[in-house]
Chain A
Amino acid sequence: QVTLKESGPGILQPSQTLSLTCSFSGFSLSTSGICVSWIRQPSGKGLEWLATICWEDSKGYNPSLKNRLTISKDTSNNQAFLKITSVDTADTAIYYCARIPAGYFDYWGQGVMVTVSS
């Protein structure tokens, strides 16, 4: 079955770089049409799409955050990654990764909480 699991540092300081890993099983990011996205959710607030990477290595970024985001993948190890530079308290959120087979998120990870605090 398809599963995804996010991992991250838990807490980091303002101005640092946040590095997140999505480890998945049950599918391959080398399969035609398959993509993985990162989405975040501040406590008590809505969902915000951050970035997507697809099987042929195309990438898409939220325009409002594009300069700070880098998405990448390791197909052989079934992982996707997201880096966010220059974090501040507004980046405190639960970060999810999710699979996209055709424009919709059909499987989601459990999410990882990231807190930015000095």
Chain B
Amino acid sequence: DIVMTQGALPNPVPSGESASITCQSSKSLLHSNGKTYLNWYLQRPGQSPQLLIYWMSTRASGVSDRFSGSGSGTDFTLKISSVEAEDVGVYYCQQFLEYLTFGSGTKLEIK
């Protein structure tokens, strides 16, 4: 099984500052087709998760350009530039190279 390990944030993060969330996979998520099968979601309190980034670095429709995804085959980062109150919630990474698995989540709090 591919295990997804997420890092923690130094909460609370001051409003307007940037925040980077890390995610590490136990196996490279780079597919032979050149795509990296890693996605990011935000789950705001009391809501369903919403897609932020797919294929490691492609922003989903309607997602603010303050969100960006990057990484290699096994180490990934979701960067939020200039965090805002609406960014509060839990962020999950998810792989789909083999079955589908989520990371354990990273909570973002704003000061």
Contact = CB atoms under 8 A, between A and B. Distances in A.
Contacts, number: 54
A104 B99 contact: no
Interface string A14-56: 0000000000000000000000010000000011110010000
Nearest to B95: A103
A108 B99 CA distance: 19
Interface in B62-111: 92, 94, 96, 99-105
How big is chain B's contact interface, by range? 20 to 34
A110 to B, nearest CB: 6
Interface string A47-87: 11100100000001011000000000000000000000000
Contact of A106 (B60, B96, B99, B101): B60
B51 interface: yes
A48 B101 CA distance: 7
Contacts of B99: 49, 60, 62-63
A37 B48 contact: no
Main secondary structure of the interface of A (DSSP, over half): loop
Contacts of B51: 104-106
B92 A47 contact: yes
Contacts of A37: 100
Contacts of B39: 103-105
Given A46-B104, A52-B100, A106-B60, A63 B49 contact: no
Interface of B: 1, 37, 39, 41, 43, 48-51, 54-55, 60, 92, 94, 96, 99-105
